[in-house]
Amino acid sequence: MILDLHTHSIKSDDGRAKVVNYCQWIRTKNLPIDGFVLTEHRQFDGESDYSTLARQFGITILKGSEVETEYGHVLVFNVTAPLVAEFDFARIDLSLVRVIEACEKHGAVAAPCHPGRKRVGMCAHIENLGVPKGVKIVEIYNGGSRGDEDDQARAMAEREGYLGIGGSDSHIVSHVGRCATRFPAPIGSEAELADALRAGNFEAITYRNQAVGD
Amino acid sequence: MTVGKITEVEFGVELPAFDPDTSMTNVRRFAKAANWMGPRFTDHEAARKEGLPGALVPGIMSQGFLAAMIHRWAPDAQIEVVDTVFRAPVIVDESYHITGVVTDVDEETGKVEIDLTVTNDAGETRVFGTATVRLPR
């Protein structure tokens, strides 16, 4: 099963994509992904219900979040009510270690995203802050990366022994599915996604610079 | 190929790609017309002294390129919104490519939504956004 683990909809302040249009795009363009995770900036969208869309298009639609720490942005998977109560998702100065600890306490998984990006990526902060404790997974393919950002991310992951995931970081419809993560078994819920990530059996993939679909 | 009516538009259709003229000559012409004659737009050296990688193509000029691409595709379209997110600067005298693709079609209202992306020669997204246009029914 292939999931794009990093997408934004109009629920994010800089997102311009409607979820229904993501679904239409994936099907119309025959993208080789089975679903996507909505990781809205600095929030968890607990209200939206995309189950009807998911059934209509036969696409897995899951929800997570992208929070902001002193090490840059971090994807959080399997967000639950107890986790939301642990820290303020809207803050831009969260402690990465505390986010990871809270995630582990509540069955969630945290993964720094676009780590090679200036200011908002983890690589840029390691020199000053040191290697943070508890990181196990980082995003090594990001659809919005420029220059050698993904190379930096992969080099850091190899150096520190991190596992790698992929996500498009799409903010507009046509950018969904540029990068993704392949899992060996079907995933139907946020909890199953967290289990699969903890199991460590997955592979980051990129479709950038490739013709996909029709 | 151009379109005239909403019924001619299909979801997922790509607009004809467009390579804008970002030469210093053209940018200076635009800056003068728009009364945006700041040195950061018209002088590479002055822009670098401000810490920029080079002279910037004004944001409203980039938006104008996007609008021009839409009107090349649909001359009768009424552009209601061009909503852009600037991820990285667009530099004068560098090559860029603008692509657009239809991501929503509402035949009832005549509205079309278009994804817009400005990339450089390396394929990096510098600007992305969406446009909402209205076409005759």
Max CA separation in chain B (angstroms): 52
Q: Under the phi-then-psi rule, with left for phi > 0, alpha for psi from -120 to 50, and beta for the rest, what region is B88?
A: beta
* A144 contacts B85? CB cut-off 8 A: no
CB within 8 Å: A172 and B123 = no
When computed from its CA atoms, the radius of gyration of chain A, rounded to whole angstroms, is 16
Residue B87 lies in a domain: yes
Partner-chain contact A173 B103, CB within 8 Å: yes
Looking at residue B94, its pLDDT comes to 97
Fold exhibited by the domain A2-206: TIM Barrel (3.20.20)
Closest-CA residue of B relative to A20 is: B104
Tokens for A49, please give them: 């219900």
Question: Residue B42: inside a domain, yes or no?
Answer: no
Residue of B nearest to A14 (CA): B85
Residue A174: DSSP 8-state: G
Overall average pLDDT of the A163-192 stretch: 97
> Which residues pair with residue A167 across a beta bridge?
A142
**Helix, coil or strand: residue A94:** strand
Minimum CA–CA partner of B126 in chain A: A146
Torsion sign across C-alpha atoms A84, A86, A91, A97: negative
Confidence at A213, pLDDT banded by 50, 70, 90: very low
Whether A92 shows a pLDDT value over 90: the answer reads yes
Residue with tokens 């460590």: A200
At residue A39 the predicted structure's pLDDT band, cuts being 50, 70 and 90, is very high
The enclosing H or E element of A77 equals: strand A72-77
Q: Determine, yes or no, domain membership for B38.
A: no
pLDDT in the model for residue A208: 84
Residue B40 domain-assigned (yes or no): no
DSSP 8-state class, residue B7: G
Nearest to B83 among A16, A25, A29 (CB): A16
pLDDT at A212: 52
Residue B115 lies in a domain: yes
* Range of the structural domain that residue B102 is part of: 6-20+56-134
Each residue of B10-48: pLDDT tens digit? Answer: 999 999 999 999 999 999 999 999 998 899 999 999 999
Percent of chain B whose predicted confidence (pLDDT) is above 70: 100
- The C-alpha of B111 sits at a distance from chain A's nearest C-alpha, in angstroms, of 14
Q: Are strands A2-7 and A179-182 parallel, antiparallel or unpaired?
A: antiparallel
Q: Tens digits of per-residue pLDDT, A127-143?
A: 899 999 999 999 999 99
- CB distance B85 to A171 below 8 Å: yes
* Dihedral sign from CA coordinates of B28, B32, B38, B39: positive
Report the distance separating Cα A172 and Cα A184, nearest Å.
28
Is the pLDDT reported for residue A214 higher than 50? no
Average pLDDT over every residue of B113-129: 94
How many angstroms separate the CA of residue B37 from the nearest CA in chain A? 29
Give the gap in angstroms from C-alpha A176 to the nearest C-alpha of chain B. 12
- How confident is the model over A10-19, as a mean pLDDT? 95
CATH assignment of the domain containing B126: 3.10.129.10
What is the distance between the alpha carbons of residues A112 and A67, in angstroms, rounded to a whole number? Answer: 9
Q: Quick one: average pLDDT of B41-59?
A: 96
If one counts the domains in chain B, the total is 1
B74-93: pLDDT as tens digits: 999 999 999 999 989 999 99
Q: Is residue B25 in some structural domain? A: no
pLDDT > 70: percent of chain A: 97
pLDDT at A211: 54
pLDDT digits (tens, 9 = 90+) for A47-81: 999 999 999 999 999 999 999 999 999 999 999 99
Per the CB < 8 A criterion, the answer to whether A37 and A188 are in contact is no
Give the whole-angstrom CA distance, residue B84 versus residue B127: 7
B81: in domain:
yes
Substitution target in B103, B106, B126, B132 with the highest count of A β-carbons within 10 Å is B103
